[in-house]
Amino acid sequence: MSALLEVSQLSSYHGQLPAVREVSFSLQAGQVVALIGANGAGKSTLLRTVAGLHAPSAGSIRLDGRDITHLGPEKRAALGVVLVPEGRRLFASLNVEENLLTGCYRARPGGWDMDRVIELFPWIRERRRQPASQLSGGEQQAVAIARALLANPRVLLLDEPSLGLSPAALRRIYAVFPELVRSGLGIVLVEQDVRRALQVADRLQCLLEGRQTLEGAPEDLQVEQIEAAYFGIAYRGDGVGA
């Protein structure tokens, strides 16, 4: 059986700069792969390459065994690969409901509709006519996720959903993860908060200067090993980075 998403030996450049170097991972339905790494490690470039917003220089991306490496972003979204970009990117001049409706444009058929996303984030019902620009950061993140869900994705690419959120807002965003996973979505989550990533991830990937420095199930990884992979220091296996 092929994986829901299979990324193989993927490389991506910004001009001369290799931002993603030969990265491989796979994702099953109902699974969360967390992608961690310092600023500039290549996390967003990797997600954008998977979403089709950035062309890879090498490697392949398969969805359910089908090669989508050279499809444009709209076609990938129509097949169910949907990105919630860093910084949310709502339309400030549109109200909450209008922002959500943009997610329905060319949506796949599936279980997510307006009622169901409002069940997930009940406060949206009262505030659907409010301009998106008046929402808090956490509320904007919720709307960005809800908008992506309305497209009925199979693979959700979440780029730093916790960026700039208060601890309470962050908890509210992560509280919906179990429901997303139950629905059979596969999630690639970019997260700077390593502890948080470890709580929700089935697999953890660490990037350093575009390269994978660590891959594994959270329960099999030592904190010291993760820190070493994150900062690029050697791990001696005795709990001390050299």
Q: Which does 45 bind (CB under 5 to 8 A by kind): Mg ion, ligand ATP, none?
A: ligand ATP
CB of 42 to Mg ion, least distance (A): 8
- CB-nearer residue toward Mg ion: 12 or 44: 44
- CB-nearer residue toward ligand ATP: 61 or 120: 61
Residue 42 lies near ligand ATP (rule: CB under 6 A) = yes
Residue 69 lies near Mg ion (rule: CB under 5 A) = no
Burial 199-238 (b: 16+ CB within 10 A, else e): ebbbbbbbbbbbbbbbeeebeebeebbbebbbeeeebeee
For ligand ATP, what does the binding mask look like between residues 152 and 171, x meaning CB under 6 A? --------------------
Q: Which does 137 bind (CB under 5 to 8 A by kind): ligand ATP, Mg ion, none?
A: none
Residue 17 lies near ligand ATP (rule: CB under 6 A) = yes
Contact with Mg ion (CB under 5 A): which of 12, 44, 141, 162? Answer: 44
Give how far Cα 60 sits from Cα of 35, 76, 154, Å: 18, 14, 18
Q: Which does 152 bind (CB under 5 to 8 A by kind): Mg ion, ligand ATP, none?
A: none
Per residue, the 3-state secondary structure of the chain, as one string, reads CCCCEEEEEEEEEECCEEEEEEEEEEECCCCEEEEECCCCCCHHHHHHHHHCCCCCCEEEEEECCEECCCCCHHHHHHHCEEEECCCCCCCCCCEHHHHHHHCCCCCCCCCCCHHHHHHHCHHHHHHCCCEHHHCCHHHHHHHHHHHHHHCCCCEEEEECCCCCCCHHHHHHHHCCHHHHHHCCCEEEEECCCHHHHHHHCCEEEEEECCEEEEEECHHHCCHHHHHHHHHCCCECCCCCEC
Residue 45 lies near ligand ATP (rule: CB under 6 A) = yes
Q: Which stretch binds Mg ion (CB under 5 A): 22-30, 37-45, 68-76, 101-109?
A: 37-45
- CB-nearer residue toward ligand ATP: 42 or 161: 42
Contact with ligand ATP (CB under 6 A): which of 19, 79, 150, 185? Answer: 19
Q: Which stretch binds ligand ATP (CB under 6 A): 2-10, 40-48, 197-205, 221-229?
A: 40-48
Residue 131 lies near ligand ATP (rule: CB under 6 A) = no
CB of 129 to ligand ATP, least distance (A): 33
Binding site for Mg ion (CB under 5 A): 43-44, 86
